[in-house]
A and B are shown apart, each in its own frame.
Chain A
Amino acid sequence: ETGVTQSPTHLIKTRGQQVTLRCSSQSGHNTVSWYQQALGQGPQFIFQYYREEENGRGNFPPRFSGLQFPNYSSELNVNALELDDSALYLCASSPPQGQGTDTQYFGPGTRLTVL
């Protein structure tokens, strides 16, 4: 069983640019969530996708957007990058509800540095 994978591993961008991060969910999982983890902090919930629709959003501005594809993989897009967007971005997938678990499984993350 393949776990959650993310690409790229590391990324360096400059202020004002746009970035796309990608996530492949674990086999059989139909919900994907994205988190931002700033240095020395716990992960903060950005948003969640279920069956290709956004299904909840944290306290992040609209320049953070996402997509989920029919195969349940997902993208996180960030426009007009700011220095404070530098962080580890974590993707997590979860199985369909009713399978006896409310557990998320995390990928290794993408380290984004904004200069």
Chain B
Amino acid sequence: AQSVTQPDIHITVSEGASLELRCNYSYGATPYLFWYVQSPGQGLQLLLKYFSGDTLVQGIKGFEAEFKRSQSSFNLRKPSVHWSDAAEYFCALNPTSGTYKYIFGTGTRLKVLA
């Protein structure tokens, strides 16, 4: 079955520290993968996406993610977290090109300490 797992429900980091949010997927082929961020009471903003090619993708707000086929992972990273990064982060999979029927993980809530 196709699925997305985000193992960490909550993560707390200090401002200026590095960040890694984990995402594992289950899918028979190479999926389209996305990271979205959701601030409280808001919709989802696209951070970055992976379709094919270079396995290290750059996104907005200084985020990057690395696709590792052998580990079925697509972890999100940021070298130095800012207080404004506090939000909920969702990893998503589009199992079929062009259909947009995304499968989301349950999200990781990030708290940033001043």
Q: A97 to nearest B CB, angstroms?
A: 5
List chain B residues, Cβ under 8 A from A109: 42-43
Among candidates B44, B94, B103, B106, residue contacting A106 with C-beta atoms closer than 8 Å: B44
Q: Are B105 and A48 in contact, CB atoms less than 8 angstroms apart?
A: no
Is there a chain B Cβ closer than 8 Å to A21's Cβ?
no
Is there a chain A Cβ closer than 8 Å to B102's Cβ?
yes
Q: B101 to nearest A CB, angstroms?
A: 5
Q: B37 to nearest A CB, angstroms?
A: 11
Is there a chain A Cβ closer than 8 Å to B71's Cβ?
no
- How far is it, in angstroms, between the C-alpha of A62 and the C-alpha of B45 when the chains are bound? 29
Q: Which residues of B contact A (CB under 8 A)?
A: 4, 32, 34, 36, 41-46, 49, 51, 90, 92, 94, 97-107
A100 to chain B: closest residue by CB = B51
Q: Are A104 and B100 in contact, CB atoms less than 8 angstroms apart?
A: yes
> With A42-B106, A43-B90 as given contacts, are A102 and B97 in contact (CB-CB < 8 Å)?
yes
Is there a chain B Cβ closer than 8 Å to A27's Cβ?
no
Is there a chain B Cβ closer than 8 Å to A107's Cβ?
yes
Q: B63 to nearest A CB, angstroms?
A: 16
- How far is it, in angstroms, between the C-alpha of A48 and the C-alpha of B99 when the chains are bound? 8
A55 to chain B: closest residue by CB = B99
- How far is it, in angstroms, between the C-alpha of A103 and the C-alpha of B33 when the chains are bound? 10
- How far is it, in angstroms, between the C-alpha of A6 and the C-alpha of B42 when the chains are bound? 11
> With A42-B106, A42-B107, A103-B49 as given contacts, are A108 and B42 in contact (CB-CB < 8 Å)?
yes
List chain B residues, Cβ under 8 A from A104: 100, 102
Q: Are A106 and B104 in contact, CB atoms less than 8 angstroms apart?
A: no
